[in-house]
Amino acid sequence: MMSYARMPRLAFVALAVACVGAATGVAGQIFVSDWSSGKVGEWTTSGSSTNPSLITGLSQPNGIAASGGYLYVVNKQANTIGKYTMAGQVVDASFITGLSGPTQLIASGTSLYVMNTSNTTIGKYSTAGQTVSSAFITLTQSFPYSMALSGTSLFVVAQSQGSHSHSNSFVVQYSASNGTFLGDVIPEVPGSATGFYGLAASETSLYLSFYYTTGYISEYTTAGSLVNAKLIDNLNAPQNLVLSETDLYVLEIGSNRIGQYTTAGQTVNAALVTGLSDPQNLAVVPEPSTYAVALAGLACGGYSLFRRRRTR
């Protein structure tokens, strides 16, 4: 086993940096796209503003996804997706081009799924920018609103072409690996006002926002059974929502704020982030896990021991 005395100096430099992070604590991050100002802002998961103008100069930004230390942002007007560092630096402002009215965006592993509202398709790309299929899924005679991954399935909220009023919407299921249609999960009910819009998913549950002035979040199983019609109630036009670990982050368009709730429906902070301008979508990067912090602590202890030995 290599002793501390023989470890390369650069390794200790890296370890020292890790120790600083462990000592100061690294908060989770919330990224929010602002439609009219063309910006993406950053907040901590405790609600503190980090940089409300982290990324600027965008054209109708909507969907955001974080993966592998990068942010991917939809520019609807430009029909592109830009790639940025978590610090907001531009990697490639036109990372993916030739889209058709893109809105929602999902990153999973090395895959990106992009919802196109103009031609009602979902495209699949790699995080290296390669096109897997620009029409990976085609929604026939229906208009897509949102989507979420659960295991190997991609769930999509859509509505029959025509009214686009969020009423009579339904949920369908596709294979995330090959795009095969797997069936209706929550069928459309003619004459009703179901009003599904936003969607988040766990391994076993679907969380759907009802986009009304007095809106709410419902919970269904991934098989389509209703669990709780009003898991979270009295929301002001809830649109998109994100599941991060055991919490739901809900974007309320009517109040220009983000609320935090548990998946059991308990309120953590209904006004976690406030004072937003024209928010469209959000992405959440959770805090480092307790296990990771514990490992960092062990490493820092070893580093401190090495420092004491070297100074004797």
Q: What tens digit of pLDDT does each residue of 35-79 get?
A: 999 999 999 999 999 999 999 999 999 999 999 999 999 999 999
> Nearest 10 degrees: CA dihedral of 271, 276, 281, 286?
-50
Angle, CA 268 vertex, CA 264 and CA 272 arms, to 5°: 135
The predicted structure's pLDDT at residue 162: 56
The predicted structure's pLDDT at residue 1: 44
Q: Name the nearest CA neighbour of 12 among 294, 291, 297, 307.
A: 307
The predicted structure's pLDDT at residue 169: 82
Mean pLDDT, to the nearest integer, of 214-235? Answer: 94
Three-state secondary-structure class, residue 13: helix
Count Cβ atoms within 10 A of the Cβ of residue 214 and give its class: 0-12 exposed, 13-18 middle, 19 or more buried.
exposed
**CA distances (Å), origin 268, targets 82, 249, 286:** 32, 10, 15
pLDDT at 206 over 80: yes
Beta bridge partners of 272: none
How many angstroms from the chain centroid is the CA of residue 106? 7
Beta bridge partners of 216: 210
Cα 123 from Cα 229, distance rounded (Å): 31
Least confident of 12-26, 141-155, 221-235, 283-297: 12-26
- E-only strand ranges, 35-101: 39-44, 49-55, 61-67, 70-75, 80-85, 90-96
- Of how many residues is the chain composed? 312
Look up the pTM and report it.
Answer: 0.84
* Element spanning 15, H or E: helix 9-24
* Element spanning 227, H or E: strand 226-235
The predicted structure's pLDDT at residue 150: 97
Q: Are 309 and 68 in contact (CB under 8 A)?
A: no
Other C-beta atoms lying within 10 Å of the C-beta of residue 12: 17
| Edge-first strand listing for the sheet containing 80-85 | 61-67, 70-75, 80-85, 90-96
Least confident of 109-123, 145-159, 160-174: 160-174
Q: Are 237 and 224 in contact (CB under 8 A)?
A: no
Q: Name the nearest CA neighbour of 158 among 134, 178, 138.
A: 138
Q: What is the mean pLDDT of the chain?
A: 85
> Residue 254 region, left (φ>0) first, then alpha (ψ -120 to 50), else beta?
alpha
Cα 19 from Cα 154, distance rounded (Å): 39
Cα 88 from Cα 70, distance rounded (Å): 9
Least confident of 17-26, 91-100, 238-247, 262-271: 17-26
